[in-house]
Structure 1
Amino acid sequence: MTKKRGVLLVNLGTPDSTAVPDVRKYLREFLMDKRVIDIPFFKRWMLINFIIAPLRAPKSAKEYERLFDDKGSPLKYYGFELRDKLRKVVAEEYQIELAMRYQSPSIEEGLSALKNCASIHVIPLFPQYASASTGSVQDKVMEIVKDWQIIPDIKFTSHFFEEELFLETIVDNAKQLMAKTGYDHFLFSYHGIPERQITKGDEANTCQFGSCCDSLTDRNRYCYRAQCYATTRMLAEKLDLKEGEYSVSFQSRLGKTPWIKPYTDVVLEDLAREGKEKVLAFSPSFIADCLETTVEVGETYQEDFIKAGGEQWDLVPSLNAEDKWVECLKEMVENR
């Protein structure tokens, strides 16, 4: 009997429930990751366990209450739907599993289910590469398999923002909204990361956090910020947007250290002051509904924009488990 080829889809993760203890447990696991908060272990442990988790968990629990529905966390149930749809369309030789970097189902569980496969292809579900997301998944996978007696061939997809069907799914979703509303501006909001995390990976010493991201080259091809700008350029071209009609920004910053700019909460106020009344927002660094898309961009930023003088703020839906996105993953599985 021929062994199957394993495929592990990995997303970030979500609390098991909106209860404060479950949210605190999730925050501790997430923020204790040395690639997420990249400071010495003892300082990180003290910061997370005595300040961030205790103080942030109750507030975050209320935010998750806005996100969860009667089926639970959208990020998780869309993840399972995505896995199940992909299982139906890929060739028989593939075994598809789903895991979360933090909480359940764990990467350990996913890899265990694929342990007897001839090979394992890990696809972190983050369109652009960042050490704190894709890099963390790669790190965790290698930490687990290093103790296996037999380690099969393992390969990683480090990014997929340039995949045609990924881009087309976002464009299709945007065009449905654009057909109903004449928007003044289009804002592509990506998850932020500390500037130091980009600097650490800048072995070519090219990053200036500015015009160096205007093109993607061999020197900056793994720069998260440059990949975000490249994603925007490709989407803008497909949507026939001209310069000045769209902007790029970064959200969800934490702490006092500099994060990559410009910041979304600042940009949206500037847009309102400039007289932009109707804005269509994109979240191209996420593939599923989650706190950062549905609540932060879709609700909080909408409230902030209207409060600043804007009239309408809409969010392009996430890919979730849409058929074209499933087909994109099928191509990634079978063609790579």
Structure 2
Amino acid sequence: MANKKNTTGVLLVNLGTPDSPSVPDVRKYLREFLMDGRVIDIPLIARAALVNLIIAPFRAPKSAKTYQKLWTERGSPLLYYGQDITHMLQEELGESYAVELAMRYQSPSIEDGLKALMKKNVSRMIIVPLFPQYASATTGSVQEKVMELVKGWQVVPTMHFISNFVEEPLFIEAWKQVATPYLEKEYDHYVFSYHGVPERHIRKSSVDGYCQLNGKCCSTYNKKNQYCYRGQCFYTTRQLAEALNIPEEKYTVCFQSRLGTDPWIKPYAETVIKELAEEGHKKVLAFSPAFIADCLETTVEVGEEFRDEFIEEGGEEWTLVESLNAHPAWVQCLKKMVLDIH
């Protein structure tokens, strides 16, 4: 790439994926992921014991089987869709930008992504964590890792971080384009499932004690809860429901993927699934708007495990809307977010 003009580096960062669905690779991934102090926010010694002696050894074999369901000929969807949008965004932005992909955990690493951009002599960097809603355990962790890596550099270019994009209209438009074909069919109810976080994470980030972990505080989106993960999830749902003409009484928000015994944000997905079946709903359309690419939490957990639970409780049909993946409207959303940073 020519260096006659100033080049802007763009680093797209997703959560990460094992290098393969083998038990050793899954165990390695789990250890790196769960040893992050922003993911399991307990003292280091206790965290190390929990992860290395209990979670990773016992969870890895089960998780490996689940990853085998997800794996395709191209490998992990989270990785190859990331590679796809990286190439697509590079073409859209042109030669004055250099776009790289990184994962917070495993490969390609954030360190390698930053080095690749510096080799292209970028004059500034835009870091785009690919998480629509800000959470300390996702976007916050990416930001911390980037700052940890660059603090030792002799030259640190101007850096910009995109903290969330729940207010970006093109994000909602991309979801609308992906979901519209599904809405040609009628459903009894619509479920918007988001990855959960411990309640203590919400309390730690609460401004002036605003977040009370109830419907009232999340019913509006304002300056005090703009970085409250739960509040952002409800805000995203309201926007999507409005764009898709889904009335309020026909949709429910829930949170999935709990870990440990401490309370996580509610309502829990398993509770919602049971209640929907008990209320007589037979056909449900599900969304996973916390994820921009198909992964274990969407394809397997929401798409398969939740479907099985719903049918076991008496439901008849549970359909998952796929993630944004490499949809052209999603790439246009990324392009606009990058170009909006001057």
TM-score (norm 2): 0.97
Q: In the alignment, is residue 160 of structure 1 matched against residue 165 of structure 2?
A: yes
Q: Specify every segment of 5 or more residues in structure 2 that has no aligned partner in the other structure, as ranges.
A: none
Q: In the alignment, is residue 250 of structure 1 matched against residue 241 of structure 2?
A: no
SS at match of 1:244: helix
**Aligned twin of 2:268:** 263
Give the count of matched residue pairs: 335
Q: Which runs of 4+ in 1 moved over 3 A?
A: none
What is the Cα deviation at residue 173 of structure 1?
1.9
Q: Deviations over 1:111-141 (max 9, x none)?
A: 0011231000000000000000000000000
**Aligned twin of 1:96:** 99
Q: Structure 2: how far apart are the matches of 1:315 and 1:169?
A: 16
Which AA in structure 2 matches 1:230? Y
Of 290, 304, 323, 1:318 maps to 323
Of 197, 200, 204, 2:204 maps to 200
**Aligned twin of 1:227:** 232
The aligned runs of 1:1-336 (5 Å cut-off) are: 1-115=4-118, 116-179=121-184, 181-210=185-214, 211-336=216-341
Identity level (%):
59
What is the Cα deviation at residue 177 of structure 1?
1.0
Q: Structure 2: how far apart are the matches of 1:173 and 1:6?
A: 29
Contact 1:251 1:263 in 2 (8 A): yes
Contact 1:128 1:285 in 2 (8 A): yes
Q: Specify every segment of 5 or more residues in structure 1 that has no aligned partner in the other structure, as ranges.
A: none
Q: Deviations over 1:34-73 (max 9, x none)?
A: 0000000000000000000000000000000010011110
Q: Structure 1: how far apart are the matches of 2:172 and 2:283?
A: 23
Q: Deviations over 1:71-114 (max 9, x none)?
A: 11000011000100111111321100000000000000000011
What is the Cα deviation at residue 323 of structure 1?
0.5
SS at match of 1:313: strand
What is the Cα deviation at residue 327 of structure 1?
0.7
Contact 1:120 1:153 in 2 (8 A): yes
Q: Structure 2: how far apart are the matches of 1:97 and 1:37?
A: 28
289-298 or 112-121, which deviates more: 112-121
SS at match of 2:249: coil
What is the Cα deviation at residue 2 of structure 1?
2.3
What is the Cα deviation at residue 8 of structure 1?
0.2
Q: Structure 2: how far apart are the matches of 1:21 and 1:36?
A: 21
Q: Structure 1: how far apart are the matches of 2:239 and 2:331?
A: 20
SS at match of 1:88: helix
Contact 2:177 2:329 in 1 (8 A): no
What is the Cα deviation at residue 334 of structure 1?
1.0
Which AA in structure 1 matches 2:72? D
Which AA in structure 2 matches 1:262? P
Q: Structure 2: how far apart are the matches of 1:333 and 1:64?
A: 32
Q: Structure 2: how far apart are the matches of 1:329 and 1:176?
A: 23
